[in-house]
Amino acid sequence: MITITLLLNAIWFGMGFQAFYLRRKVFGKVLVPNKADRDNSAYDAVVEAGRFMGGFNLALCLLNVMLVFNLGGFETNRQWAVLLIFNALAHGSQFAGNIPMALANRRGGGLWPVFRGVMLRIFIIDFTLMIANAVMAAMLLF
């Protein structure tokens, strides 16, 4: 079960690297859906900030891949739980970061749509992986 959780983390973080770093111009359009709002330096900064987000996602992807091949390297469930809690926090911070925008969407506002398309998938998958990692960590601790 740990291997599956780690692989799902690796896949998702790898997709984050691809979206934020390799395809940052496309993702910039997701974050700023109104074409009229894209003709300024702030939009360019949002697009280029994808390199930072993508870099973190690449590191998290590779960490999870390395952990898959290191399953025998940790001796206690508590050690594994620490890594799973870290992953839960990484996914949880991404999920929580979208909550204010989702609430704004419910009121008819917000800068990007959380409940449609790519952002909806991100919202749901980050929540699901946050819970999966937290549950797995709790199972190992208790």
Give the tens place of pLDDT for each residue, 89-129.
Answer: 999 999 999 999 999 999 999 888 999 999 999 999 999 99
Q: 24 lies in which domain range?
A: 2-141
Q: What is the mean pLDDT of residues 71-88?
A: 89
Q: 1, exposed or middle or buried, with CB in 10 Å at 0-12, 13-18, 19+? A: exposed
107 alpha carbon, distance to own chain's centre: 25
Q: What is the pLDDT of residue 42?
A: 94
Q: What is the pLDDT of residue 10?
A: 98
- The DSSP line for 53-108 is HHHHHHHHHHHHHHHHTTGGG--SHHHHHHHHHHHHHHHHHHHHHHHHHHHHHHTT
- For a pLDDT cut of 90, what percent of the chain falls above it? 88
- C-alpha separations of 125 from 73, 82, 92, 121, 122 in Å: 28, 21, 10, 6, 5
Q: Which of 135, 6, 5 has the alpha carbon at shortest distance from 66?
A: 6
Q: What is the pLDDT of residue 49?
A: 92
Domain count, the chain: 1
Give the tens place of pLDDT for each residue, 57-75.
Answer: 999 999 999 999 986 788 8
Give the tens place of pLDDT for each residue, 9-35.
Answer: 999 999 999 999 999 999 999 989 999
The token duo for 44 is: 């360019």
